[in-house]
């Protein structure tokens, strides 16, 4: 069975979360399966091992899980991208739209060194707003976007097009719904 097929039967749908009409893709069953996690990480690392990644910027909260492992395996730094007010040092923020509202993310002002190659990672690509906002922050600090990595792509939403149109990069993902 392919890795994509294994993930599709493992990822759990939760109806009506975080609000009615939304089908939440719950990755906790994947996280609970060490064998499947090893395969996911091996695949993701393989996509970026030869791309000279200097940092992985991962988006709160579920993006932190695989993002930190990716940074470790790629031998690069980890940059937390958080909701406003959650980081303790001087930050810069970026507003964005979600599939069910709007929000704002921030990053420490010293997180990205000018010229560094940064991989943006989150668990799920939907409208592309969060990932694009993270990409804009990286570029604000003089970083270069090395790629966009996701576990899941909700292809019925415009996220891939948003990323490709704004950054000229095709996002990587393992599962498409």
Catalytic residues: 62, 99
Q: How far apart are CA 168 and CA 177, in angstroms?
A: 22
| Residues in CB range of 43: below 8 A, 6 or more apart | 3, 174
Other C-beta atoms closer than 10 Å to the C-beta of 157 total 16
Other C-beta atoms closer than 10 Å to the C-beta of 86 total 13
If you ran DSSP here, which 8-state letter would residue 172 be given? B
With beta carbons less than 8 A apart as the criterion, state whether 149 and 45 touch.
no
With beta carbons less than 8 A apart as the criterion, state whether 76 and 59 touch.
no
């Amino acid at each position: 069975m392919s890795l994509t097929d294994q993930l599709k039967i493992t990822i759990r749908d939760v109806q009506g979360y975080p609000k009615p009409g939304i089908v939440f893709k719950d990755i906790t069953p994947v996280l609970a399966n060490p064998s499947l996690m090893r395969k996911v990480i091996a695949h993701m690392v393989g996509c970026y091992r030869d791309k000279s990644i200097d940092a992985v910027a991962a988006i709160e909260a579920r993006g932190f899980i695989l993002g930190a492992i990716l940074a470790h395996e790629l031998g690069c730094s980890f940059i937390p991208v958080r909701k406003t007010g959650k980081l303790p040092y001087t930050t810069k923020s970026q507003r964005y739209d979600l599939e069910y509202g709007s929000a704002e993310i921030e990053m420490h002002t010293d997180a990205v060194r000018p010229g560094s190659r940064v991989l943006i990672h989150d668990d799920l690509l939907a409208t592309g707003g969060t990932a694009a906002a993270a990409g804009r922050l990286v570029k604000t600090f003089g970083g270069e976007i090395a790629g966009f990595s996701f576990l899941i792509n909700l292809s019925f939403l415009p996220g891939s097009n948003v990323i490709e149109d704004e950054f000229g990069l095709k996002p990587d993902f393992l599962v498409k719904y």
